[in-house]
């Protein structure tokens, strides 16, 4: 699945469309992209689809993780938003005791800068790659891996 956007607002709408069609409990979504690519705008769209005020959602670069209580199909739900930019190695995430975010139950977890903790990411995580095409244009490619049992 792919989206092509030409503004931050369109990137937010792409995140909403993704969430409306695909978000479910237990899901981990990893969002790749260079600094300024629009990762947080995409996550704001996911949050907006869950009824979370997009203005409340900020990149948790300094907090490392933010939790948002919301509803999904009328059922209490949580959205966990991790920003791993500041991690030097995956063990730092484990030292903070937040590995449970990578195996959510009645929640979904969105991870920005997942390459910093690559070996901890579940194999069935949805992968989102945001590529800067031009100053305004972004290509958002979403890959749902097939996991063999």
pLDDT tens string 28-51 = 999 999 999 999 999 999 999 999
CA distance linking residue 114 with residue 123, whole number of Å: 12
CB-based contacts of 58-62 (< 8 A; 24+ apart in sequence): 59/83, 59/112, 61/85, 61/86, 62/86
CATH class of 2-143: alpha beta
Domain ranges of the chain: 2-143
Q: Name the band, by pLDDT with cuts 50, 70 and 90, for residue 147.
A: low
Q: What number is the average pLDDT over the span 84-110?
A: 83
Percent of the chain with pLDDT over 90: 60
Residues 88, 90, 96, 98, Cα dihedral to 10°: 130
Percent of the chain with pLDDT over 70: 93
CB 138 within 8 A of CB 11: yes
Q: If DSSP codes are grouped into helix, strand and coil, which group holds residue 99?
A: helix
């Amino acid at each position: 699945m792919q989206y092509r956007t030409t503004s931050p607002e369109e990137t937010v709408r792409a995140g909403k469309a993704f969430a409306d069609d695909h978000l479910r409990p237990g899901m981990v979504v990893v969002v790749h992209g260079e600094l300024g690519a629009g990762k947080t705008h995409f996550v704001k769209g996911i949050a907006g689809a869950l009824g979370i005020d997009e203005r409340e959602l900020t990149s948790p670069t300094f907090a490392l993780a933010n939790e948002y209580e919301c509803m999904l199909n009328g059922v209490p739900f949580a959205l966990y938003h991790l920003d791993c930019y500041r991690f030097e190695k995956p063990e730092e995430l484990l030292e903070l005791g937040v590995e449970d975010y990578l195996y959510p139950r009645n929640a979904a977890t969105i991870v920005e800068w997942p390459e910093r903790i690559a070996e901890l990411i579940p194999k069935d995580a949805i992968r989102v790659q945001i590529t800067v095409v031009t100053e305004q244009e972004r290509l958002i490619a979403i890959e749902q891996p097939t996991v063999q049992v």
